[in-house]
Amino acid sequence: MADLGQALIEIEVAYALPNVQTVIALNVPPGTTARQAIVLSNIRALHPEIDPDSASLGIFGRRVRNNAVVHAHDRIEIYRPLIADPKRARRGRAGKAVTRR
C-alpha cells in the first residue's frame, strides 16, 4: 500500500447475493490493490464466505486480478462462483425452444 500521508481516494466494494446487495464506500490510499480494498472494507464481517485471496474480482464488470491497483471512484465487485455452466444452460433453453414449435 502507498504512503498514508497522501490524499485518499474514494472507492466502493460490492458483493451481491440473489436477495441482497452489499456496497461499502471507503477511502483508501493511492496504490491500494483490489484485494487490499476488500480487506480494508471489512466486508467479511457481513459475508464471512468471501476469501480475499481466492475471490474472483472485477471493476465495473471487467475482470481484474486481486493485485490490480484501484483508482478513484472504482467499484470493486466480488463475484460468487457460478452454480451452472452458462453455455450449457443456454443450450438447454435453446433446445426446449426448438421442440416447442
Give the rounded percent of residues in the chain with a pLDDT score beyond 90.
66
Residue where the block lists cell 481484474: 64
69, pLDDT greater than 70 = yes
> Looking at the DSSP assignment, which residues form a beta bridge with residue 48?
none
The band of 3, judged by pLDDT with boundaries at 50, 70 and 90, is low
Q: Strands of 2-101 (E only): list them.
A: 9-16, 21-28, 56-59, 62-64, 75-79
- 23/90 Cα distance (integer angstroms): 30
Instruction: Tell me the pLDDT band of 80, cut-offs 50, 70 and 90.
Output: confident
- What is the domain partition of the chain in residue ranges? 9-100
Q: What is the pTM of this model?
A: 0.75
CA angle 31, 38, 85 (to 5 degrees): 115
Which CATH entry fits the domain spanning 9-100: 3.10.20.90, 3.40.50.460, 2.40.50.140, 3.40.50.300? 3.10.20.90
